[in-house]
Amino acid sequence: MQGLGRHGALTADDKALLLSLELNSRRVSAGEVLWQESADVDIFCVIKEGWAFSYRNLGNGSMQILKVYLPGDIIGIRDFGFSRRLAGVAMINEGAVCPFTYQQLFELFGRSPALVAGIIAVAVRQQAILTERLVYLGRYSAHERLAHFLYELYMRLKRIGAVEDNGFFMPLSQEQIGDALGLSAVHVSRTFSMLRDEGLIVRDRQHVTLPDPQALARLVEFNDTYIDESLPPAFHGFA
């Protein structure tokens, strides 16, 4: 859980507790459903390798992708306190996940206030990403939606060391991007072409490069506070 280390000072014991949640790693295939929406909440997962997404199936047969999960993210923490899943989760590409139970989470909470604070911070930041998505889906053009989405991925991947020379691996299909942004696959393709013609995006299959990341950020007036801001000083008293 690389994210927790950035949300507060962790002791050696805290890090050992975190590693204990990642002992039971299992391989998962591309497209594998980790759980369906409305299923019982029984486990959570750390995504160790690969990408995943949460989703809701809509009555008209379409899908809304809610969040894209990257290596190190905790999946399912949004369901904490509910008996049924709020959304389904599926893998985008092949990878590995580390499932853990409520009991393991409660044991961790009882042994480390610092990790309680860190996990709360992770959950709140996941909610902040959903809030930003709501804002730009409701107020931005297709051109701006895609630009915002790509820059947000770039920032998140940069935090886990998965960006090199302003480029990154992105296994999402055009259909999946469309399901995340409320656009058709054709519209996504056309918008990628517009961003390419403006010199903002270079895409080669599953690899994306941002020739000038700051120009893309300026296009959508991107505020990275919800991704990059550290915990308030008061949280460090738990460490």
163-212 pLDDT, tens digit each: 999 999 999 999 999 999 999 999 999 999 999 999 999 999 999 999 99
Lowest pLDDT segment from 72-76, 77-81, 96-100: 77-81
- Above 60 in pLDDT, residue 51? yes
Between 235 and 82, name the one with better pLDDT: 82
Find tokens 């499932």 and name the residue.
Answer: 99
State which amino acid sits at residue 144. Answer: E
Domain boundaries, the chain: 2-132, 141-219
**Confidence tier at 126 by pLDDT (50, 70, 90):** confident
Lowest pLDDT segment from 45-49, 52-56, 74-78, 107-111: 107-111
> Measured between alpha carbons, how far is 109 from 116 in angstroms, rounded to an integer?
5
**How does the average pLDDT of the chain come out, rounded?**
88
The pLDDT assigned to 78 comes to: 86
Q: For the whole model, what pTM was predicted?
A: 0.87
Task: Report the CATH superfamily, name and number, of domain 2-132.
Answer: Jelly Rolls (2.60.120.10)
Determine what percent of the chain is predicted with pLDDT higher than 70: 91
* CATH number corresponding to 141-219: 1.10.10.10
Between 227 and 92, name the one with better pLDDT: 92
Find tokens 């290596």 and name the residue.
Answer: 71
Between 22 and 219, name the one with better pLDDT: 219
In the chain, the largest separation of any two C-alpha atoms, in whole Å, equals: 54
- Residue 101 burial (CB count, 10 A): 12
> Measured between alpha carbons, how far is 94 from 50 in angstroms, rounded to an integer?
6
The pLDDT assigned to 124 comes to: 81
Determine what percent of the chain is predicted with pLDDT higher than 90: 59
- Above 50 in pLDDT, residue 7? no
Joined together, the tokens standing for residue 113 give 């206030």
Q: For every residue of the chain, which 3-state class applies, written as one string?
A: CHHHHHCCCCCHHHHHHHHHCCCCCEEECCCCEEECCCCECCEEEEEEECCEEEEEECCCCCEEEEEEECCCCEECHHHCCCCECCCEEEECCCEEEEEEEHHHHHHHHHHCHHHHHHHHHHHHHHHHHHHHHHHHHHHCCHHHHHHHHHHHHHHHHHHCCCCECCEEECCCCHHHHHHHHCCCHHHHHHHHHHHHHCCCCEEECCEEECCCHHHHHHHCCCCCHHHHCCCCHHHHHHC
> Measured between alpha carbons, how far is 67 from 129 in angstroms, rounded to an integer?
8
Residue 47 φ then ψ, to 5°: -85, 115
Mean pLDDT of 63-68: 95
Mean pLDDT of 145-165: 95
> Measured between alpha carbons, how far is 192 from 202 in angstroms, rounded to an integer?
9
Crossing angle of the two packed helices 12-20 and 102-111, in degrees rounded to 10: 170
